[in-house]
Structure formats: structure tokens, C-alpha cells
Amino acid sequence: MTKEDDRAREEFTSEAEELLDTLSRDLVEFEAQGKNVRPEVVNKIFREVHSLKGLAGMLGFVEISELSHNLEDMLDRLRMGKIPITKDLIDLLYDSVDSLNRLVIAINDPSLAGLVDVTNLASRIHRTVTSQPQQKVEDPFSELTLDEQTKKSLTEYEEHRLLENVRAGKYILAIEQTFDFSDFDEKLRALTSVLNEAGEVISTLPALDSSGGSGIAFRLLYGSMLNEPAVAALAPDARVSSLRKDTSPAAVAAAGAAMTPPPPGGTTAADVAAEDDLSSLRSMSQTVRVDITKLDHVMNIVGELIIEKTQLEALTRQLTTQQQRMAAHELGKIARNLDRKLSELQKSVIETRMVPVGQIYSKLARTVRKVARELKKEIELTLRGEDTELDKMMVEELTDPLMHIIRNSIDHGIEPAAERVAAGKQPEGRVTLTAYQQGNSVVLDVKDDGRGIDPEKIRQVAIKRGVIGEKDAFDLQRAYEVIFAPGFSTADQVSEISGRGVGLDVVKKNIQELKGTIEVISKPREGTTFRISLPITLAIIQALIVRASGEQFAIPLTSVEESLRIYSRDIRTVERREVFTLRDFTLPLLRLSDAFGLSDDHDHGPDTKWFVVVTRAGEKTVGLLVDALVRQQEVVIKSIGERLKTIPGIAGATDIGESDIVLVIDVGTLIDHFGGRARETRALAVH
């Protein structure tokens, strides 16, 4: 495959994913509006499918093109009123978009292609299109005073929209206005926009300029619940007239009622394809669509940096001929300017990588709908904070953990409808995903209003699976820890949704790889919240450089609560674990020298000074005991390879200047692995 082919494939993948994301959001709006869906929503969905069909056909992606073509044909009949809006139709639309999304991903991952049964979907679409009974064709003009020329000018779709407005008992009006040639397009567009807010512009037709001037006239056919005087107020420069033969409100309502067809009967039940929904929802495209103003800003900064670099080169050449002190002063000034511009460039590049988390909301909405349908549960999904921004890579990596948590909430958290009603709840379960910024982190809450976590049930299952012993201490906090144990599941039987042995431990691992934390907040019979905290970006972070046993480490500031200096006499031992009383809180201590097996040959008397860096990972707080705080510095985390990747407490490495490479601490895995037991663990290893 040539480079041109690779580039074309990547461009198609990016464009197709953007189209499908928009299509998913429009489907949510389509479903919310139900049988009273606004025609512009249906038309927009139709255009998006048409665009995808054209792109796929042009590049030879046959399956995507054929499925889009079948879907486009069905949508065309839908917007023409030849197919009623039913639950089966909405299910079919969601399944089709989900399958198109998989086919797009399969372009770069062919193993997923077999998960899409295009033939089955085509059959379902065909049945939906052909199973509708022939309806009596109504004359949309029988109640209207329309001239023959106007009737002949209307398209089939415009006739359909005219009939729908008549059926709805709306006023049908003609709005005529003359515009100047110089700006008629802008003014016509503005008039149409105003009118569409209070009704529907059914057709826009050229008309004769009755003023005899040099302008251009248009006649708009308009349907609205507003009467003639109210519409005239919206278009003060136009001539408004009613097209109804009887314009009294009672007659208009009666005519609409008479033309309203009976509710559509049941449709053929759709065959739900047994698709494996375990495949990743993450995007395959590496493209980030960037606001041009952000790129302009980056380009301006780069230009200024080149100027500064040129000045440095010129100054370097002059050092042999001018006084050293003056040269040093000038170099210092340029260095400060360079540092300031580099900081601006760094900020701009980070902003360029940022995308709204709302990009994955539509994918999650499809998953919720599919899982709820399979479990026969009614679920209301609420999505908030879609404008909250995160690094592009992190947003993509979040899709799978969020999908799994939401699945878990629907399957384990939300009770069946009968159980909810008996508990005094609404039969429809609620799952809410909220994203918001908190300091230098982004927090995502997945909250359900289900049964909550039952510690006793968790305990019984944990004992049965050998995760804990019969006599082990067990409380709510311990229950939260156990549900993240590898392979742990409370499912009684294996299904497509649960009991597969891929549990919340995978979710926790994925979140920790993003240098984030996950915690659980639950109230019995009220619901459960999974809270994910993530750094805004992994590209460049602020870190606290510390020293322990002669070695330096970098601790991300997003994990640091505070730092303080103490003496050895302030450290107490409780159950062989070192602790420190911080205000009214007993803070577990963890020596970095113990965690990483560093030699500690110092003579530590009661007056020895220590520094405690108070760190937090979720609800867990631990004080890291170090010899010194060196400085605060911006660092770029680099990978340390696959072999060292699994070492608990290490996130990567960074260069802090002068070729000094230090390890970056992963506070989350450090606390999970050692807690306050690092000294105890080291003592046992020695003996």
C-alpha cells in the first residue's frame, strides 16, 4: 500500500469518525423528540449518512458504502412520512450506527470486521421499508387556497411537510418580501432563521417583484401555531396572508384533527444482531482537529523563538570582540525572553492537544442503550460537563474504562423495575456521567441510583473465591478494595454483560496507567459513584523534586497535598507501622528508601530532621518520608520500558537538567502496593 493510500485511509477514518460522532448525538436528540421530531433533525441525520456513503464509495470501502446506502434509503422514506417512528426503528438506527463505527475501526484492525453482520442489518432495513401498509394518499391542498403554479413548484418532500403541518392543525401562511440584490441572500437567511424558531418554513419560492423595482422577491410557505398577526410581527417588512380556506382557530384545529391519521400499528419486531460488544470503543484515528486560532498562536510564538535564536547566534560570534560582561548581560536577557516564549509555546501545544470529553459521550450513549436493551432495563443516561477538556490521548484511553463502569452500574447497580418500585423508586434507573475540572485534575463521576454496594455480599463472595479469609477484618473500605481484585465478580452466572472474569481490576489498571486514581462512594439502597481523577495532560507536569538516601525522585504535584518538616521523635509506631499525627489525623508514613530498597546508613537520633510529603490517591492519604525537598520543576515523563513498567510506584523517568535522570513516582500504585507497610515489608525481607 502506497503512502498516498495510507494518507487517504487515515483521512477517511478521521472524517468518518467525526461524522459518526455527530450522527450519534443527533440520534439521541431524535429519540428524545420521539414522534414529534423536528424535520431538520431527520434531514441532518439523512445528510450525515449520505456524506458517509459518498466518502466510503469514493475510497472503495464497500461494506460501509452499502450499509450507508441502505440506511440512507430508509431515512429518505422516514423523512417523507412513509415509515412511522417506532422503538424498533430507533433500535435499528442505533444498531446501524454502531455497526458503521465498527466497520470504520476495522479498517485499521481487520479482526473486528467479523463482528458486524451487514447482511442481517440490510435484511432488517429491507423489512422495515417494505412492511409498511399502503396508506391512503391525502391531498394537502384541499384545505388551502394555493395557485396551480405554486402547487407544481413544490417537491415531493415539500408536499409531505405541507401535509404534516396541515395535519398538526397549524396556520398555513404565505410570506412575501422583496430584497435588494446586493444582500438578498443574507437577509433571506436571517428571515428564515427567525421564522423557523416559531414554526417551519416549508418552501422558499421566487416571486414577482410587485414594487416594480430592481430587487428580488421571495414567497415563503410557512406553517406555525402562531396566527397571521403574530407572524406579521416577526416579519414586519413582509406581506403575510393565510392560505387556509377557513382561518378561524376552531376551523384550523378541526381541519388538523380531521386529517390526522390514526396512530401507526405495531411494526415487525427487529432481529437484534448478536454482536459482541466487548470490542473497544476508542477512536482509531490519531488526528486532532484544531481550532485555527490556536495554530496561529503557536506559529507566532515559533516565529519569535527563531528571532531570539538568531540573536543568540549573532551574540555568540561577537563574544571575541566585545567585553565579556556586556555579552553575559545580553545573553541573560535573551535567555529570559527565550524561557518566557518557550513557556507560552508549551502552553499552546498542550492546549492544541486538548479536546472535550464530550467526544466519547455519544459512543457511551450507544453502549448504554444496547446494554439496557439486553438486560431488559429502562435506563436514563444523563451526560454533563461535555465541554471539559482533556488530552486527546487520555480521552481515547478513557472510553473502555468508562464503558466497563457504566456496564457494571447497569448490570449490578440498577435493580429490576419491580424491585425499584417496591423500594419506592422510579422504575427507570438513572446513570449520570459528570466531568469537571478540580485544580490541576479532571474528575469524572459515574453515578447510579441503584441498590448500592452490600459489604456482606462482597465478603461472602470474596471468601468463596479465596480473596480473603473467614476471619479477616472486613468493613466498607475493605469491600471497596476487594471489588478491584483481579477476576472478582459477584455475577451468579456468565453472560455477555457480566461474569466474564474481566472485572474492575482492569479498569483500575487502565486508570493508573493514565496516572489517575479511582475511588468508590456508595450508600446502601441509594446508589454508587465511581470517581475517576486524572491529570489534565501527561505531556508536561509540575513535580516536586525530593531526595531520599542520596537519590532524587520526582513526585507529581497533582498527588501532593502539602509538605512539612518533622523530627524523628514525632514518628510513632502503631502495629509495626510508622505514623505521624497531622493535626487530628493519624497519617501513615512510607519511607521512599524502604519502598525502593535504598541503603540508609545515617545515624537517626530523636532530633534528626525529616520532610513529609503528604500525598493522596483517591481516598487514601500517605506521608512520604524523605531527606530533603530540592525544588519544584516542570518535567516531561518518559517511558522506562516494558520490563520496568510493572514496578509498583514508578511512573517513568525524567531529565531534570545537567544530564541528571530521576524516577517519577506513581503515588497511586505506591500506596496500593505498600500502604504503610514499606518498613515492615523491608524488615521481613532482611530476615
- Using the CB atoms, write b or e for 409-432: b if 16+ within 10 Å: bbbbbbbebeebeeeebeeebbbb
What separation in angstroms does the CA of 396 have from each of 105, 367, 390, 393, 510? 13, 16, 10, 5, 12
pLDDT band at 435 (very low <50, low <70, confident <90, very high): very high
Contact in structure between 458 and 529 (CB atoms under 8 Å): no
User: Where, residue-wise, is CATH 3.30.70 in the chain?
Assistant: 148-259
CATH number of 148-259: 3.30.70
Question: Each residue of 572-631: pLDDT tens digit?
Answer: 888 778 888 888 888 888 888 888 888 766 666 778 888 999 988 777 888 998 888 988
Q: Quick one: 356-535 is in which CATH superfamily?
A: Histidine kinase-like ATPase, C-terminal domain (3.30.565.10)
293 or 421, greater pLDDT: 421
| H or E element in which residue 379 lies | strand 379-384
Q: Are 162 and 81 within 8 A, CB to CB?
A: no
Predicted structure pTM score: 0.63
Q: Calculate the alpha carbon distances from 249 to 228, 246, 541 in Å.
A: 11, 9, 66
What's the pLDDT score for residue 434? 93
The amino acid at residue 202 is I
Q: Cα–Cα distance between 240 and 238 in angstroms, integer?
A: 6
Tell me the average pLDDT across 450-456: 84
Task: Tell me the pLDDT band of 444, cut-offs 50, 70 and 90.
Answer: very high
Q: Where do you find CATH 1.20.120.160 in the chain?
A: 3-130
pLDDT in tens, 295-329: 667 767 766 776 676 677 666 666 655 567 677 77
Q: Is the pLDDT of residue 258 over 60?
A: no
CATH H-level superfamily of 541-686: CheA-289, Domain 4 (2.40.50.180)
23/41 Cα distance (integer angstroms): 10
CA gap 364, 554 in Å, rounded: 36
Mean pLDDT value across residues 109-122: 78
Return residue ranges of the chain for CATH 2.40.50.180. 541-686
Confidence of residue 214 (pLDDT cuts 50, 70, 90): low
Distance CA 657, CA 660 (A): 6
CA distances from 98 to 13, 93, 120 (A): 15, 9, 14
Would you say 517 and 622 are in contact if contact means Cβ atoms under 8 Å apart? no
Assign 3-class secondary structure to 554-619: EEEHHHEEEEEEEEHHHCEEECCEEEEEECCEEEEEEEHHHHCCCCCCCCCCCCCEEEEEEEEECC
Torsion of CA 310, 312, 315, 319, to 10 degrees: -140
CA-angle at 100, arms to 99 and 102, nearest 5°:
65
CATH code for the part of the protein at 3-130:
1.20.120.160
SS3 content of the chain, % helix, strand, coil (to 5): 45, 20, 30
Give the residue from 191, 195, 163, 169 showing the smallest Cα distance to 178. Answer: 191
